[in-house]
């Protein structure tokens, strides 16, 4: 037994060495991705990764579904700090500052240097590129991007005597039309609210960014060191949310993100503000005539952009790096963007993708999908700074404090600003 | 049978459980204590020793004060209620009513479900407008309540979920204890002319006291230990009104990635729990009657 093992061991070892030598040119990629929508996302990701692996038989790629965005970021960071990072991951665009601070990602503009690579980076819409940049470098590539739009029930508009083809463009119109859309039963209880804007948690803060944008301001800048909470625009936006509840256009108190599409489908809300990522879900389940419009705005249209981008990690071999870049380029070809966009409802992030025959046919079949694209020029980056999770929580606390009636807008925002400045001061 | 183990063998047998205990309990606890004296670092800003600065931060943390008061309200609200309900249910299923088997099963069912599943069920109950609670209220002509979206009701809503989930488990312990009480004690009391209320308080309750200690300690630990439903249902909101200490630790450590302050909060939690367990044992042990 022992003798046999003694002879077998060198054989196995030399086989292993030979094996790894012959694989030197190849790369085994690990790719972490999150799923954040009601869509067959995993199957589509696997279909795309398998197609890449089939084209590149010398390489292999393992697509790892790592939970929601937050969990995926935590897993990727933990793996990177343990010295075994995934080569590629789709993580929130706004995680850029955290990833830079932890020093785990490569600037993609440093490795994608050929003319073809540069043309590829330039092919994405500017609105999706603003939050990929830091210090003049591009750190990520847009992939699953979304923006909220105004979904409305055309039947409810007709019942309220409103033109079903005209959506409210301003906050005043929203209040005015919303009052007509709010329906009460004989006991005086509301059975249908005029509108529904999720205002709790991170989703609430995301939508809030759109309100602020429509008043001509932004909550954060590209330096990652500035939070702009205590502004006239932010105050007006919070007061608008309060006004919707005061005038019985929207349910008072906290409104969750998750129940919003359901409330719309069940007729509890005549209109909702939610992500384009819900287009496919609402299209399949709505039993009434529905439409999509721009988000009503304060001084003009405004919306936040959100979603995830491709990042390439540090501390990987040169072969892995080249393979990772090739993989990201493959995943974001116009054809593959179109496949991904149609399967999920995410906005294809480049003009070329919208010009593919598949996307042309899709937008004819579901014209609502185009509204988000048309709204893109009015969209602004999602709130992002260093220590994002902590600083965003200050904003979330301020919004929740006001909508649940505890504090007034000016005090809440001033307090959030003070705390944010304290944290971000170290980074300036 | 009485063969003595060699020292070597004894050492090996001890080594395995001890190393597991050290690796997964003592080392992390020690490390947390150590981390609480350092500030939070990142790759570009290494952490440095800051002495008691994290503990000074505890005192200035308004959110911590709210979270602590939430945690105490939560514990004081859920522990006695869960125990009272558990005794009530145990008495019910211990009596000679028809279909006690079915009752035992249905009382115990919530305990068998994982907390995440329970939280999802209750999310449906609580959803304003579309949820079960709203539909019942509306059937009586009452307006629906925004249970999870209001600072007044979010914590109470969490407590109801916890009691619903926990009471069934404690019922099992009480049921076992009730069945071990000799009937001759009750017969003797009845012979002396005691009514069933008197029998319950003067005969049954004292005999249940060891069970009550056990259940109370466990319920208290669970009140601090179980936060899965907070993660699923409210994420501590709105405006931190339903945030509990352990959830706050999770948020600070893994959400904000502030491992130093997370470690400091962990030390605080261990101190609080140790202190309460000591009081509980001291008070209840003096009055317990073990057979």
Of residues A190, A390, A404, nearest to B150 (C-beta): A404
- Which pLDDT value is given to residue B198? 87
For residue A233, pLDDT over 90 is answered with yes
In which band, very low, low, confident or very high, does the pLDDT at A2 lie, cut at 50, 70 and 90?
Answer: very low
Cα B159 to Cα A188: distance, rounded to the nearest angstrom: 30
Domain spans in chain A, listed from the N-terminal domain onward? 28-146+306-380, 148-304+387-427
The enclosing H or E element of B11 equals helix B7-21
DSSP secondary structure code for residue B131 in this structure:
S
Share of chain B above pLDDT 90, in %: 31
In which band, very low, low, confident or very high, does the pLDDT at A219 lie, cut at 50, 70 and 90?
Answer: very high
Inter-chain contacts counted by CB atoms under 8 A, chains A and B: 90
Share of chain A above pLDDT 90, in %: 63
- Taking CA atoms, A245 is separated from A71, A179, A402, in Å, by 34, 11, 11
The string of pLDDT tens digits covering residues B170-209 is 999 999 999 888 888 888 888 888 888 888 888 888 888 8
- The answer to whether residues A313 and A230 touch, using CB atoms and an 8 Å cutoff, is no
The enclosing H or E element of B282 equals helix B259-287
The torsion of the CA quartet A312, A316, A322, A324, rounded to 10 degrees, works out to -40
CB atoms within 10 A of CB A6: 9
CB atoms within 10 A of CB A123: 17
- Which pLDDT value is given to residue B288? 58
Q: What are phi and psi of A271, to 5 degrees?
A: -150, 155
With 0-12 / 13-18 / 19 or more C-beta atoms within 10 angstroms meaning exposed / middle / buried, residue A147 is: buried
CA closest to B44 among chain A residues: A101
DSSP secondary structure code for residue B151 in this structure:
T
Q: Does A95 touch chain B (CB under 8 A)?
A: no
The string of pLDDT tens digits covering residues A63-104 is 999 888 888 998 999 899 888 999 999 999 999 999 998 899
Judged by CB atoms closer than 8 Å, whether chains meet at A389 and B143 is answered as no
Cα A200 to Cα A61: distance, rounded to the nearest angstrom: 38
Question: Which residues in chain A are closer than 8 Å to B240, comparing Cβ atoms?
Answer: 397, 400
- Which pLDDT value is given to residue B287? 63
- The answer to whether residues A140 and A132 touch, using CB atoms and an 8 Å cutoff, is yes
Q: What are phi and psi of A231, to 5 degrees?
A: -125, 165
Q: What angle do CA A145, A150, A155 make, to 5 degrees?
A: 135
- Which pLDDT value is given to residue B49? 85
Residue (of A199, A201, A231) closest to A413 by Cα position = A231
Measured over the CA atoms of residue B70, residue B72, residue B73 and residue B74, the dihedral's sign is positive
Equal CATH topology for A28-146+306-380 and A148-304+387-427: yes
Cα B3 to Cα B18: distance, rounded to the nearest angstrom: 23
Cα A420 to Cα A39: distance, rounded to the nearest angstrom: 36
The radius of gyration of chain B from alpha carbons, rounded to an integer in Å, stands at 24
| Domain A28-146+306-380, CATH among 3.20.20.60, 3.20.20.70, 3.40.190.10, 3.40.47.10 | 3.40.190.10
Judged by CB atoms closer than 8 Å, whether chains meet at A404 and B149 is answered as yes
Of residues B143, B235, B251, nearest to A189 (C-beta): B143
Cα B13 to Cα A352: distance, rounded to the nearest angstrom: 67
Structure tokens of A259?
Answer: 């129940």
- The answer to whether residues A250 and B145 touch, using CB atoms and an 8 Å cutoff, is no
The string of pLDDT tens digits covering residues B62-108 is 899 999 999 999 999 999 999 999 999 998 888 877 888 888 888 88
Q: What are phi and psi of A355, to 5 degrees?
A: -90, -5
The radius of gyration of chain A from alpha carbons, rounded to an integer in Å, stands at 24
- In chain B the first and final C-alpha atoms are separated, in Å, by 30
- In chain A the first and final C-alpha atoms are separated, in Å, by 67
Q: Which residues pair with A91 in a beta bridge?
A: A309
Question: Which residues in chain A are closer than 8 Å to B254, comparing Cβ atoms?
Answer: 74
Which residue numbers of B have CB closer than 8 Å to A's CBs?
A: 42-45, 123, 127-130, 138, 141-144, 146, 148-151, 235, 237-241, 251, 254-258
Q: What are phi and psi of A84, to 5 degrees?
A: -135, 65
Of residues B42, B235, B239, nearest to A401 (C-beta): B239
In which band, very low, low, confident or very high, does the pLDDT at A198 lie, cut at 50, 70 and 90?
Answer: very high
DSSP secondary structure code for residue B144 in this structure:
P
Judged by CB atoms closer than 8 Å, whether chains meet at A190 and B138 is answered as no
3-state SS of chain A is CHHHHHHHHHHHHHHHHHHHHHCCCCCEEEEEECCCCCCCHHHHHHHHHHHHHHHCCCCEEEEEECCCHHHHHHHHHHHHHCCCCCCEEEEEHHHHHHHHHCCCEECHHHHCCCHHHHHHHHCECHHHHHHHEECCEECCEEEEEECEEEEEEHHHHHHCCCCCCCCCCEHHHHHHHHHHHCEECCCCCEEEECCCCCCCHHHHHHHHHHHHHHCCCCCECCCCCCECCCCHHHHHHHHHHHHHHHCCCCCCCCCCCCCHHHHHHCCCECEEEEEHHHHHHHHHHCCCCEEEECCCECCCCCEECEEEEEEEECCCCHHHHHHHHHHHHHHCCHHHHHHHHHHHCCECCEHHHHCCHHHHHHHHHCCHHHHHHHHHHHEECCCCCCCHHHHHHHHHHHHHHHHCCCCCHHHHHHHHHHHHHHHHHHHC
- Name all domains of chain B by residue range, CATH numbers in brackets: 51-287 (1.10.3720.10)
Cα A40 to Cα A43: distance, rounded to the nearest angstrom: 6
CA closest to A265 among chain B residues: B130
The torsion of the CA quartet B36, B40, B45, B50, rounded to 10 degrees, works out to -40
- Which pLDDT value is given to residue B101? 83
Judged by CB atoms closer than 8 Å, whether chains meet at B43 and A101 is answered as yes
| B291 HSE (CA, 13 A, CB side) | 9
Q: Does A420 touch chain B (CB under 8 A)?
A: no
Interface residue of B126, B148, B149, B233 to substitute, partner A, most A CBs within 10 Å:
B149
CB atoms within 10 A of CB B15: 10
Q: Does A251 touch chain B (CB under 8 A)?
A: yes
In which band, very low, low, confident or very high, does the pLDDT at A14 lie, cut at 50, 70 and 90?
Answer: very low
Structure tokens of A385?
Answer: 């700074």
Question: Which residues in chain B are closer than 8 Å to A72, comparing Cβ atoms?
Answer: none
Cα B281 to Cα B216: distance, rounded to the nearest angstrom: 10
- The answer to whether residues A414 and A230 touch, using CB atoms and an 8 Å cutoff, is yes
Overall average pLDDT of the A388-406 stretch:
91
Structure tokens of B240?
Answer: 């931190």
Judged by CB atoms closer than 8 Å, whether chains meet at B256 and A77 is answered as no
Interface residue of B61, B133, B238 to substitute, partner A, most A CBs within 10 Å:
B238
Question: Which residues in chain A are closer than 8 Å to B142, comparing Cβ atoms?
Answer: 187, 189
Q: Does A412 touch chain B (CB under 8 A)?
A: no
Judged by CB atoms closer than 8 Å, whether chains meet at B238 and A404 is answered as yes
For residue B46, pLDDT over 80 is answered with no
Interface residue of A189, A194, A270 to substitute, partner B, most B CBs within 10 Å:
A189
Rounded to the nearest integer, the mean pLDDT of chain A is 88
Structure tokens of B77?
Answer: 């609200």
The CATH number of domain A148-304+387-427 is 3.40.190.10: yes
| Cis, bond preceding B238 (omega within 30 deg of 0) | yes
The string of pLDDT tens digits covering residues A323-377 is 999 999 999 999 999 999 888 888 999 999 999 999 999 989 888 888 988 998 8
Question: Which residues in chain A are closer than 8 Å to B231, comparing Cβ atoms?
Answer: none
- Which pLDDT value is given to residue A270? 95
ipTM over 0.90: no
Find all residues with CB under 8 Å of A254, minimum gap 6, and list them: A199, A200, A400, A403, A404, B146, B148, B149, B150, B237, B238
Judged by CB atoms closer than 8 Å, whether chains meet at A254 and B238 is answered as yes
Overall average pLDDT of the B132-145 stretch:
86
Q: Which residues pair with B82 in a beta bridge?
A: none
Interface residue of B66, B153, B257, B262 to substitute, partner A, most A CBs within 10 Å:
B257
Strands A28-33 vs A60-65: parallel, antiparallel or unpaired: parallel
Question: Which residues in chain A are closer than 8 Å to B123, comparing Cβ atoms?
Answer: 258
In which band, very low, low, confident or very high, does the pLDDT at A21 lie, cut at 50, 70 and 90?
Answer: very low
For residue A231, pLDDT over 80 is answered with yes
Residue (of B31, B99, B26, B65) closest to B243 by Cα position = B65
Q: What are phi and psi of B51, to 5 degrees?
A: 65, -130
């Amino acid at each position: 037994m022992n003798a046999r093992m003694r002879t077998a061991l060198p054989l196995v070892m030399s086989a292993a060495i030979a094996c790894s030598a012959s694989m030197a040119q190849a790369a085994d990629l690990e790719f972490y991705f999150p799923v954040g929508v009601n869509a067959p996302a995993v199957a589509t990701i696997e279909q795309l990764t398998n197609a890449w692996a089939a084209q590149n038989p010398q390489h292999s790629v393992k697509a790892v579904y790592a939970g929601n965005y937050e969990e995926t970021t935590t897993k990727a960071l933990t793996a990177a700090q343990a010295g075994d990072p995934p080569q590629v991951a789709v993580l929130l665009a706004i995680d850029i500052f955290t990833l830079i601070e932890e020093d785990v990602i490569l600037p993609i503009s440093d490795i994608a240097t050929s003319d073809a690579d540069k043309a590829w980076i330039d092919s994405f819409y500017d609105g999706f590129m603003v939050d990929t940049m830091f210090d003049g470098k591009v750190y990520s590539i847009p992939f699953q991007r979304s923006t909220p739009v105004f979904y409305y029930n055309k039947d409810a508009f007709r019942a309220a005597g409103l033109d079903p083809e005209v959506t409210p463009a301003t906050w005043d119109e929203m209040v005015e039309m919303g009052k007509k859309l709010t329906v009460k039963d004989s006991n005086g209880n509301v059975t249908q609210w005029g509108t529904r804007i999720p205002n709790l948690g991170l989703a609430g803060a995301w939508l809030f960014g759109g309100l602020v944008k429509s008043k001509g301001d932004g909550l954060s800048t590209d330096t990652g060191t500035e939070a702009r909470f205590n502004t006239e625009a932010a105050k007006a936006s919070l007061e608008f949310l309060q006004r919707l509840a005061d005038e019985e256009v929207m349910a008072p108190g906290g409104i969750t993100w998750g129940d919003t599409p359901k409330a719309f489908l069940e007729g509890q809300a005549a209109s909702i503000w939610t992500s384009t990522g819900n287009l496919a879900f609402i299209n399949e389940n709505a039993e009434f005539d529905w439409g999509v419009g721009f988000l009503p705005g304060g001084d003009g249209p405004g919306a936040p952009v959100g979603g995830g981008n491709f990042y390439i990690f540090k501390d990987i071999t040169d072969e892995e790096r080249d393979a990772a870049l090739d993989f990201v380029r493959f995943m974001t070809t116009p054809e593959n963007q179109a496949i991904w966009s149609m399967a999920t409802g995410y906005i294809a992030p480049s003009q070329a993708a919208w010009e593919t025959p598949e996307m042309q046919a899709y937008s004819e079949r579901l014209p609502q999908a185009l509204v988000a694209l048309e709204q893109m020029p009015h969209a602004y980056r999602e709130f992002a700074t260093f220590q994002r999770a902590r600083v965003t929580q200050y904003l979330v606390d301020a919004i929740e404090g006001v909508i649940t009636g505890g504090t007034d807008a000016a005090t809440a925002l001033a307090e959030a600003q003070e705390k944010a400045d304290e944290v971000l001061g170290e980074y300036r | 049978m009485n063969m003595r183990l060699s020292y070597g063998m004894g050492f090996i047998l001890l080594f395995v459980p001890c190393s597991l205990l050290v690796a997964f309990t003592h080392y992390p606890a020690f490390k947390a204590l150590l981390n609480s004296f350092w500030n939070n670092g990142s790759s570009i800003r290494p952490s440095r020793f800051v002495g008691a600065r994290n503990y000074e931060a505890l005192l200035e943390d308004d959110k911590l004060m709210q979270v602590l008061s939430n945690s105490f309200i939560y514990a004081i609200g859920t522990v006695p209620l869960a125990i009272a309900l558990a005794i009530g249910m145990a008495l019910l299923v211990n009596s000679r009513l028809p279909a006690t088997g079915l009752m035992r099963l249905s009382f115990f069912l919530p305990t068998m479900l994982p907390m995440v599943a329970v939280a999802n069920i209750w999310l449906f109950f609580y959803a304003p407008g579309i949820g079960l609670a709203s539909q019942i209220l509306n059937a009586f002509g009452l307006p629906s309540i925004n249970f999870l979206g209001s600072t007044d009701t979010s914590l109470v809503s969490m407590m109801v979920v916890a009691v619903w989930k926990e009471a069934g488990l404690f019922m099992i312990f009480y049921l076992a204890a009730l069945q071990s009480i000799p009937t001759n004690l009750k017969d003797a009391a009845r012979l002396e002319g005691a009514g069933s209320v008197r029998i319950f308080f003067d005969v049954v309750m004292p005999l249940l006291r060891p069970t009550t200690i056990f259940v109370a300690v466990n319920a208290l630990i669970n009140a601090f230990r179980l936060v899965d439903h907070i993660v699923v249902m409210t994420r501590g909101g709105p405006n931190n009104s339903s945030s509990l200490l352990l959830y706050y630790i999770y948020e600070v450590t893994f959400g904000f990635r502030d491992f130093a302050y997370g470690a400091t909060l962990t030390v605080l939690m261990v101190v609080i729990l140790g202190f309460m367990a000591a009081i509980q044992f001291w008070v209840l042990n003096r009055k317990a009657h073990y057979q």
